[in-house]
């Protein structure tokens, strides 16, 4: 009776080790909290203006298939909180903020090699520990095979049910700052002609605006993260980063 009890305890111990070693379980533990990250491709520095001249025109566009993703209202609220007057006419504003949301969706949190290694490692570890458990509880070769298969199956199920999910939003930002002096501007573009040719055009002009461009990438990561939970966090991240330029 005691011997059987010891076998049961050891079997439970091995089962616990097997569950802990699964890649899916590791992901669930390490990614249980939501983490966010916001990055800019380049810094933008604007000349400070007195409060009476802090006027801005905001134009926000979304060219993705996620039509419900809207940051214009958030940007308006954030800049008003910083003392800016929102203008409906760009000719009366000292700043023009233009943003275009290019991409909203799930992104690969790991490289392909890492994902393949994680999936294979979880199932393999489960098979190995499952075999040990079967041998301890019965001592028969059939039980060893059965334990291995059961361990592998459970390992695969755990890995399949727990995903390391990252959602990201990529946004292009252009800021125009009104200048007291005329700014020379050269615009060039390359037009494709078939598969091997192209035509390059350019134009020179003078403008009252000094322009700056950058790209903002916001990401949210958590185990089994859902899109509806990620979107508000991503919108807040972009808003905070863009508004922080002013």
> Model confidence over 110-138: pLDDT tens digits?
432 232 232 222 232 333 334 444 444 44
**Predicted confidence (pLDDT) at residue 71 exceeds the cutoff of 90:** yes
pLDDT at 246 over 70: yes
Stated as kind and residue range, the H or E segment containing 220 is strand 197-223
Q: Provide the pLDDT confidence category of residue 236 given band limits of 50, 70 and 90.
A: very high
Q: What 3-state class would DSSP assign to 181?
A: strand
How is the chain split into domains, by residue range?
2-31+111-163, 36-109+165-243
The total number of residues written for the chain in this structure? 246
Average pLDDT, the chain: 74
* Confidence band for 75, pLDDT divided at 50, 70 and 90: very high
pTM (two decimals): 0.66
The residue behind tokens 């508000």 is: 232
Closest of 183, 185, 170 to residue 99, by C-alpha: 170
37 sits in which H/E element? strand 35-40
Q: Convert the pLDDT of each residue in 175-222 to its tens digit.
A: 999 987 777 766 666 667 766 667 777 777 778 889 999 988 888 988
Q: How confident is the model at residue 45 (pLDDT cuts 50, 70, 90)?
A: very high
Higher pLDDT: 121 or 243? It is 243
Class of domain 36-109+165-243: alpha beta
Cα distance between residue 133 and residue 14, in whole Å: 6
Predicted pLDDT at 114: 33
């Amino acid at each position: 009776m005691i011997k059987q009890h010891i076998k049961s305890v050891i079997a439970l111990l091995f089962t616990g080790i097997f569950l802990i070693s699964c890649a899916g379980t590791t992901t669930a533990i390490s990614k249980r909290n939501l983490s966010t990250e916001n990055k800019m491709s380049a810094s933008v520095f604007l000349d400070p203006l007195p409060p009476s001249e802090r006027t801005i025109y905001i134009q926000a566009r979304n060219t993705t298939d996620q039509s419900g993703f809207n940051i214009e209202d958030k940007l308006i609220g954030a800049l008003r909180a910083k003392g800016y007057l929102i203008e409906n006419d760009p000719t009366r504003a000292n700043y023009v903020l233009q943003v275009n949301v290019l991409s909203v969706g799930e992104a690969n949190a790991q490289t392909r090699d890492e994902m393949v290694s994680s999936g294979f490692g979880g199932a393999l570890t489960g098979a190995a520990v499952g075999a040990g458990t079967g041998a301890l509880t019965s001592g028969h070769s059939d039980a060893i095979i059965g334990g291995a298969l059961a361990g592998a199956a459970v390992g695969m199920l755990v890995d399949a049910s727990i995903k390391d999910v990252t959602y990201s939003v990529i946004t292009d930002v252009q800021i125009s700052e009104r200048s007291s002096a005329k700014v020379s501007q050269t615009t060039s573009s390359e037009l494709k002609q078939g598969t091997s040719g192209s035509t390059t055009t350019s134009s020179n002009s003078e403008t009252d605006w000094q322009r700056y461009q950058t790209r903002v990438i916001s990401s949210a990561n958590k185990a089994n993260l859902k899109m509806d939970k990620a979107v508000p966090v991503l919108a807040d991240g972009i808003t905070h980063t863009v508004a922080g330029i002013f």
